[in-house]
A and B are shown apart, each in its own frame.
Chain A
């Protein structure tokens, strides 16, 4: 066989030719450029336009950053020293951007509260964090309030005691009478806060032990800081974090109410959600600022920050309710029926079967609402609170810095960008982690 072969064919190649490299236009960076930037005439034009745009941007912005001034007394001096940006204004005013008009010697308190925020958030955000940190999370609101607003520890401690009392009662009764346990513990909490807590009995007793800071030296008491002195990014974070953590449970309850079979509950929720979603946040802030006083008993005054938090929370909760409702509606009917057939009651079914799935579906929407809420906190500058955007106005009005623009707004924008972008990245992480469909 091989003989015949050898005789009939003049030449048989026995080894393979080594592969020649692809042509120069089909490899490396040239190939990538051809495929990704110059694949057609239109694409080439678009690419060239984009490159020109980026070039112009760098040509303008590069020297602006490069020739920036960090140390100067005022804008005129800045312009004399160098041709670029004048970051000296941020160098001079950064305490206001971060703390508003918080007393300088007390600034370590909000900083400490901010540092405590990390261990408090860790167990909520990441399941790998040790569970013991949850104690920090539960105590954080009280500690942070005490640190930021100051005063005696008696008030936050008295409020905390109410929660502990309600929890103990609920725990004791929950085994035998779950419904009654819930009702009784909520009643105890409300009665305690209205009648005993606050400026009431427990606080006075504690004050008696620790000493009243108004009378003289007292244990565990800081100098009080008024709400109107709190501003800057500190105010943004207070408003943002408080409203986010309050809005989530309220939003879920509203969504459940809207999906409920109980007609009256359903229409109360629908009315609330549609009303809040139909008006701009700024009008709700007007309500917080001027109108709320009309609707409360004569003589009641409470803190502007608290009023704003209530309104922003209501606003975010209505939007959250719609997002969660989308998640609830996306679940197949069989899930609800399966829960019923297992004999679970309404709250068990929701807690164990429906909500875990519905919330997972609605994560991107929930985080979007949070990002929106965080951004919307700048609206308080319109009702003359000194959030970062509100801080810019007095700086612009100052004759030293009159005429500066990009540096200030750019700084504030950068802050919001970092926080909001981090939130959206976290939502991606959460989606990845909770993905169970193995696609």
Chain B
């Protein structure tokens, strides 16, 4: 009885039960079984798909992207008409998705940061109001906000014909430059005449100059400890040179104002209701999440940091800029990336209000017109997947660049 032999260490050869009971082999067994199950499962699905497509007399190819689309897209960034291909329509849709995603990311950040800071304000009533905003938007589905705001956009503003006549019911806002109607918002369109290239060039150069100045100011601060007014100089550089050139050259960049022609406005840029509603709803909804992240980020910096900075004699706004924010940003940035991702993915809900984004073109009209359900949906998923992966790749790269460098 006492002479128990340890089989696992002897050279008694390999027995089948070791595959299950010997930890050295068990992991291999499990993995091989999992792999086989996966391959079998995928093969089964693929086999079904092939036989189903064959039964329906369909094949699997993306040739339909080259055929004529035959439907119109009213909101577009590039040239498109109904005689162009489904591929072109998909591209228009993708650009529309990107448009609303970029606009939404910018505004949701602005709204979120303001509301997040206000939630920590010493002012009781402001704190309560921002809490109400955050809870109201976080706890109600974004799709509901989208259709509700779309409904408001259609019902509340006046019709274009209300702007007619000598004593109109409605007037244009912002010195007769913007018309808010129930068909959308008309804003002035910039027109480029001779010499406008110079203005644009000066503007681009001043943006480069802002970054150069920031780099210079940082170097200066590290060497001498002197802090330069980066914000004000940046603000000045952003506006002053370009406006000066514009005035000196005799205003080469003009504005084409929307004008009432017949029963509708013409000229200017027409922002459709669907774009505005989607933009507002996504910004407000995601802004509520951003506000919570900003609040959590600022709270995560321990009070001792602020107090230590204050005891060194640093002024309050510099404490915020130099001590609290750099530390809070490390907590804020990772969830911000996923907020931007969510906003981009939620923009696919445009389908509900008829904004022609990627889901509206490829995922809806093209899919229904061509009957290529499998190809359309798979391509749609692939495009969204690569979009998400690139956003998170950029986000992670930025996160790594601001992360605390530990050794």
Contact partner, B52, options A262, A287, A294, A409, Cβ 8 Å = A294
Residues of A within 8 A of B377 (CB): 283, 286-287, 290-291
Question: Which residue of chain B has its CB nearest to the CB of A53?
Answer: B129
Closest CB of chain B to A330's CB: distance in Å? 14
**Cβ proximity bits A22-51 to B, threshold 8 Å, 1 near / 0 not:** 000000000000011101000100110011
Contact A294 B53 (CB under 8 A): yes
Chain A count of residues within 8 A CB distance of the other chain:
57
Give the residues from 61 to 96 in chain B that come closer than 8 angstroms, CB to CB, to chain A.
Answer: none
Question: Which residue of chain A has its CB nearest to the CB of B350?
Answer: A282
Residues of A within 8 A of B389 (CB): 274, 278
Contacts A375-B140, A405-B148 known; A295 to B126 CB distance under 8 Å?
A: no
* Cβ-based interface call for A349 (8 A): no
* Cβ-based interface call for A134 (8 A): no
Complex CA–CA separation, A406 to B156 (angstroms)? 12
Give the residues from 17 to 47 in chain B that come closer than 8 angstroms, CB to CB, to chain A.
Answer: 20, 27, 30-31, 34-35, 38, 45
* Cβ-based interface call for B381 (8 A): yes
Complex CA–CA separation, A390 to B381 (angstroms)? 24
Q: Which residue numbers of B lie inside 8 Å of A, CB to CB?
A: 20, 27, 30-31, 34-35, 38, 45, 48-49, 51-53, 55, 121-126, 129, 135-136, 138-144, 147-148, 151-152, 155, 345-346, 348-349, 351-352, 359, 363, 367, 373-374, 377, 380-381, 384-385, 388-389
* Cβ-based interface call for A139 (8 A): no
Contact A47 B123 (CB under 8 A): yes
Contacts A280-B346, A283-B380, A293-B52 known; A416 to B140 CB distance under 8 Å?
A: yes
Contact B144 A378 (CB under 8 A): yes
Closest CB of chain A to B343's CB: distance in Å? 11
Residues of A within 8 A of B31 (CB): 262-265
Contact B388 A409 (CB under 8 A): no
* Cβ-based interface call for A273 (8 A): no
Residues of A within 8 A of B123 (CB): 36-37, 39, 43, 46-47, 50
Residues of B within 8 A of A36 (CB): 122-125
Question: Which residue of chain A has its CB nearest to the CB of B152?
Answer: A405
Closest CB of chain B to A439's CB: distance in Å? 13
Most B CB contacts (10 A, CB to CB) among A35, A47, A375 go to A375
* Cβ-based interface call for A277 (8 A): yes
* Cβ-based interface call for A336 (8 A): no
* Cβ-based interface call for A329 (8 A): no
Closest CB of chain A to B182's CB: distance in Å? 13
Closest CB of chain A to B39's CB: distance in Å? 11
Residues of B within 8 A of A328 (CB): none
Contact B141 A278 (CB under 8 A): no
Contact A297 B48 (CB under 8 A): yes
Most A CB contacts (10 A, CB to CB) among B38, B45, B143 go to B143
Contact B52 A47 (CB under 8 A): no
Most B CB contacts (10 A, CB to CB) among A35, A406, A409, A417 go to A409
Contact B348 A280 (CB under 8 A): yes
Contact A375 B129 (CB under 8 A): no
Question: Which residue of chain B has its CB nearest to the CB of A419?
Answer: B139
Closest CB of chain B to A311's CB: distance in Å? 12
Contacts A265-B31, A298-B55 known; A179 to B20 CB distance under 8 Å?
A: yes
Contact B144 A389 (CB under 8 A): yes
Contacts A50-B126, A51-B125, A294-B374 known; A286 to B380 CB distance under 8 Å?
A: yes
* Cβ-based interface call for A108 (8 A): no
Give the residues from 250 to 300 in chain A that come closer than 8 angstroms, CB to CB, to chain B.
Answer: 261-265, 268, 274-275, 277-283, 286-287, 290-291, 293-298
Contact B388 A298 (CB under 8 A): no
The A interface is mostly helix, strand or loop, or mixed, namely helix
Residues of B within 8 A of A296 (CB): 48
Complex CA–CA separation, A48 to B366 (angstroms)? 53
Complex CA–CA separation, A283 to B364 (angstroms)? 11
Contact B143 A381 (CB under 8 A): yes
Residues of A within 8 A of B140 (CB): 375, 413, 416-417, 420
Complex CA–CA separation, A389 to B144 (angstroms)? 7
Complex CA–CA separation, A294 to B384 (angstroms)? 22
Contact B348 A283 (CB under 8 A): yes
Closest CB of chain B to A144's CB: distance in Å? 24
Contact partner, A268, options B34, B121, B135, B374, Cβ 8 Å = B34
Closest CB of chain B to A354's CB: distance in Å? 18
Residues of A within 8 A of B126 (CB): 43, 46-47, 50
Complex CA–CA separation, A409 to B51 (angstroms)? 45
Contact partner, A264, options B35, B52, B122, B385, Cβ 8 Å = B35
Complex CA–CA separation, A124 to B199 (angstroms)? 67
* Cβ-based interface call for A371 (8 A): yes
Contacts A36-B122, A47-B123 known; A294 to B151 CB distance under 8 Å?
A: no
Residues of B within 8 A of A282 (CB): 348-349, 351, 359, 363
* Cβ-based interface call for A106 (8 A): no
* Cβ-based interface call for A412 (8 A): yes
Residues of B within 8 A of A392 (CB): 147
Contact B151 A421 (CB under 8 A): no
Residues of A within 8 A of B20 (CB): 179
* Cβ-based interface call for A376 (8 A): yes
Residues of A within 8 A of B35 (CB): 264
Contacts A279-B388, A283-B377 known; A50 to B49 CB distance under 8 Å?
A: no
**Cβ proximity bits A389-421 to B, threshold 8 Å, 1 near / 0 not:** 100100000000001011001001100110011
Contacts A43-B123, A46-B123 known; A279 to B143 CB distance under 8 Å?
A: no
**Cβ proximity bits A54-70 to B, threshold 8 Å, 1 near / 0 not:** 10000000000000000
